[in-house]
Amino acid sequence: MEIYLDTAIVDEIKEIQEWGLVRGVTTNPSLIAQTGRDYKDAVMEVLSLVDGPVSVETLSDNAAEIVSQGEEYATWGDLVVVKVATTVEGLKAISQLRALGIPTNATLIFSLNQSILAAEAGANYISPFVGRLDDIGGDGIGLVAESVDYVEENDLDCDVISASLRHPQHLEDSAKVGAHIATCPPSLLKKALKHPLSDIGLAAFFSDWRKASRNVRGLEE
Ligand code: E4P
């Protein structure tokens, strides 16, 4: 499973990129608003940092406008993926962008039917929203699992991005059900890496290493 960052905050991207595991980034209008920057400026800086797909969301529910925005975004960088809401107009735009060779990420997916229709329309990525579905008593990870099964059984050229992840268990569960990609807020990845036994073990190793170092210095004296 590939790890993407779900943020547009440049310092967060730089920090986690040093871990050596970031394969792409997803943004949305809310994440870009958090940066306080102009939409294009924020996206361009993300694109300059990331050596992988960067999803950039369209801001319309009219197919012609979505396609036009998508064509514009595609000029911003070779790794732009045009994010499109999974609506009637969105599906029309996804199929047209596919024909133009511009990759798309179908977003705001909350049902298997939406996954099926977006994947069949030609989306290169589909993004079931795990956390938001869980919030209303749904089964977000179950939807990811069903979406993965559908695209794989039908041999579609479409990766499932497990999105709207809220806590480390969502990351493990995404991997267990075969999500191709998990897009994670940086704070989630930091929590996912932590384990109290690692902290205790490291403290003990440091303490013993200091004792051993003293012994070595003693021998040298
Ligand atoms: C993914 O593409 C979305 O931008 C994101 O995961 C949404 O997450 P949220 O539900 O925490 O806003």
- Specify the ligand 1 atom closest to the Cα of 183: 6
What whole-number percentage of the chain has pLDDT above 70? 96
Distance 131 CA to ligand 1 centre (A): 8
Using the predicted structure, report yes or no on whether residue 219 has a pLDDT greater than 90: no
Is 205 inside any structural domain?
no
Residue owning the nearest CA to atom 1 of ligand 1: 163
* Tokens of residue 157, six digits: 């050229």
Is 177 inside any structural domain?
yes
Is 23 inside any structural domain?
yes
Task: Select the more confidently predicted residue: 123 or 206.
Answer: 123
Residue owning the nearest CA to atom 11 of ligand 1: 164
Supply the pLDDT for residue 218.
Answer: 57
Say which range, 29-33, 39-43, 207-211, has the weakest mean pLDDT: 207-211
- Which distant-in-sequence residues (6+ apart) come within 8 Å of 7 by Cβ? 13, 25, 27, 31, 185, 186
Query: Do residues 20 and 28 touch, judged by C-beta distance below 8 A?
Result: no
Supply the pLDDT for residue 21.
Answer: 98
Active site residues: 83
Give residue-wise pLDDT tens across range 125-160. Answer: 999 999 999 999 999 999 999 999 999 999 999 999
Give residue-wise pLDDT tens across range 50-102. Answer: 999 999 999 999 999 999 999 999 999 999 999 999 999 999 999 999 999 99
Is 207 inside any structural domain?
no
- Specify the ligand 1 atom closest to the Cα of 131: 10
Residue 96 CB less than 6 A away from ligand 1:
no
Residue owning the nearest CA to atom 4 of ligand 1: 28
Is 201 inside any structural domain?
no
Is 165 inside any structural domain?
yes
Q: How confident is residue 221, by pLDDT bands cut at 50, 70 and 90?
A: very low
* CATH code: domain of residue 140: 3.20.20.70
Instruction: Give the count of domains, the chain.
Output: 1
Is 200 inside any structural domain?
no
Query: Do residues 125 and 158 touch, judged by C-beta distance below 8 A?
Result: yes
Residue owning the nearest CA to atom 5 of ligand 1: 164
What whole-number percentage of the chain has pLDDT above 90? 93
Q: How confident is residue 216, by pLDDT bands cut at 50, 70 and 90?
A: low
- Which distant-in-sequence residues (6+ apart) come within 8 Å of 76 by Cβ? 40, 43, 44, 47, 56
DSSP 66-114: HHHHHHHHHTT-TTEEEEEESSHHHHHHHHHHHHTT--EEEEEE-SHHH
Angle of CA points 53, 32, 90, to nearest 5°: 65
- Specify the ligand 1 atom closest to the Cα of 28: 4
Determine the longest span between alpha carbons in the chain, in angstroms: 80
Q: How confident is residue 215, by pLDDT bands cut at 50, 70 and 90?
A: low
Distance 214 CA to ligand 1 centre (A): 51
Give the residues across from 25 on adjacent strands: 5, 54
CB atoms within 10 A of CB 60: 17
* Domain interval for residue 136: 2-194
Supply the pLDDT for residue 106.
Answer: 98
Q: Is 22 exposed, middle or buried (0-12, 13-18, 19+ CB in 10 A)?
A: buried
Alpha-carbon distance of 119 to 105, in angstroms, equals 10
Distance 25 CA to ligand 1 centre (A): 11
Is 215 inside any structural domain?
no
Q: Which amino acid is residue 77, in one-letter code?
A: G
